[in-house]
Structure 1
């Protein structure tokens, strides 16, 4: 006997995509000739897919839906881009162009240089937080976004990406930093923080950043 305690959307391992689910609990009973007799304790909780009706442990809810994962990835790239721009400045046109290219590729198709520069300017007037509603201001190259900003954006995503996916986010930030020349110390500090937030081992972060610096743009 099952009863439904809640519902929602999840990534169904059986269907291989986003589906609706029911969270269910029940009671086990001993059946004799098809007749339920003695109770045998609690069953569940389980997550039942509304499409394939397969049942899974509740740990499947820890995996974000495809829609949620895409949103996390967009926000991660956006945050890393802003962090690198804060560290290195926005004066050089190649840097702005590389930043816009990265953000558009992540899913913000309407992003412009002006929007990014306005967001960066707003950090000077926004008490160190990446703002949702920017105000004009000025930020000198060599500043850094607080590490908490990067961790908030990257830590929820990191467990759900393969190593190559996490490295790609780091390398996108590196390409932006290198668009106007070698890393400056603030950029190196920011990219090291990106690596930590993405759970990339320090030695791998150093190797990736060094390789990116040696690659012709």
Structure 2
């Protein structure tokens, strides 16, 4: 037997609220972002709002501003604007691809492109990062140009490699979005290129140390990782 409904309850629920606060939102920008709730790239609207006190559903008094917020077009979730600092999946992939490419070139420029094993390791790393059209010839040409230009550049502070500016330009935007394991993995991949043809040269070690610094890894951890890379598994 169905429970009886209370006679006046439905009518009571349909009554307008006597007073409340309503927010009127205005869209000021839009774009694509990585939605924390959806877990993927979505369209968004950046919105600002104005709160108003309502009486019987009608706005009567302003109650200040709301937001700004980022509203997901898919789930309608509201997030602080800081969420836009996280790169989209597409942007993150591009940052990683450019970073690996720059690191590989820097290591090759420091150690020379005469070693087929080092060059093959560099090509494999760049392709794994998403640049499937990378070739040994293309890497050789760019690395040789960088090596020739190195003599006309000055190194960075604290003994950084001459190509420090290029490495920081590629790695600084990526590092905050990499987990500790990801930053260590990137340094180890660079170390693998340097070790493909033998022990580190002083120039290669300078490059790898600069890579670790740009990835915000502590110096002690960088030293440990470079030592571990030399140890056969």
Unpaired runs of 5+ in structure 1? Answer: 130-143
1:47 corresponds in structure 2 to 70
> SS of the counterpart of 2:212?
helix
1:165 corresponds in structure 2 to 182
1:32 corresponds in structure 2 to 55
1:178 corresponds in structure 2 to 195
State how far apart, in whole Å, the 1-side matches of 2:98 and 2:111 are. Answer: 20
Please say if residues 174 and 212 of structure 1, whose CA atoms lie closer than 8 Å, have aligned partners that are also in contact.
yes
State how far apart, in whole Å, the 1-side matches of 2:230 and 2:149 are. Answer: 32
State how far apart, in whole Å, the 1-side matches of 2:104 and 2:186 are. Answer: 10
> SS of the counterpart of 1:78?
helix
1:110 corresponds in structure 2 to 133
Please say if residues 83 and 145 of structure 1, whose CA atoms lie closer than 8 Å, have aligned partners that are also in contact.
no
Q: CA deviation at 1:114?
A: 0.6
State how far apart, in whole Å, the 1-side matches of 2:232 and 2:59 are. Answer: 70
For residues 63-78 of structure 1, what are the structure 2 equivalents within 5 Å?
A: 63-78=86-101
Please say which of residues 44-53 and 115-124 is displaced more in the overlay. 115-124
Please say if residues 87 and 190 of structure 1, whose CA atoms lie closer than 8 Å, have aligned partners that are also in contact.
yes
Cα 1:19–1:162, aligned 2, differ >3 Å: closer, same or farther?
same
Please say which of residues 162-171 and 116-125 is displaced more in the overlay. 116-125
2:17 corresponds in structure 1 to none
Please give the root-mean-square deviation of Cα atoms over the aligned residues, in Å: 1.6
> How does the TM-score come out when normalised to structure 1?
0.89
Q: CA deviation at 1:51?
A: 1.0
Unpaired runs of 5+ in structure 2? Answer: 1-23, 153-160
Would you identify which runs of 4 or more consecutive aligned residues in structure 1 move more than 4 Å? 124-129
1:133 corresponds in structure 2 to none
State how far apart, in whole Å, the 2-side matches of 1:189 and 1:127 are. Answer: 13
Alignment partner of 1:100 is 2:123: yes
Please say if residues 188 and 226 of structure 2, whose CA atoms lie closer than 8 Å, have aligned partners that are also in contact.
yes
Alignment partner of 1:198 is 2:215: yes
State how far apart, in whole Å, the 2-side matches of 1:126 and 1:192 are. Answer: 20
2:5 corresponds in structure 1 to none
How far does the alpha carbon of each residue in 1:19-68 deviate from its partner, in whole angstroms, 9 at most, with x for none?
A: 11111111011123322221011111111111111111100001000000
Q: CA deviation at 1:120?
A: 1.2
The number of aligned residues is: 202
> SS of the counterpart of 2:101?
helix
Please say if residues 22 and 49 of structure 1, whose CA atoms lie closer than 8 Å, have aligned partners that are also in contact.
yes
Aligned counterpart for 1:150 among listed residues 130, 155, 167: 167
2:228 corresponds in structure 1 to 211
Alignment partner of 1:56 is 2:73: no
> How does the TM-score come out when normalised to structure 2?
0.83
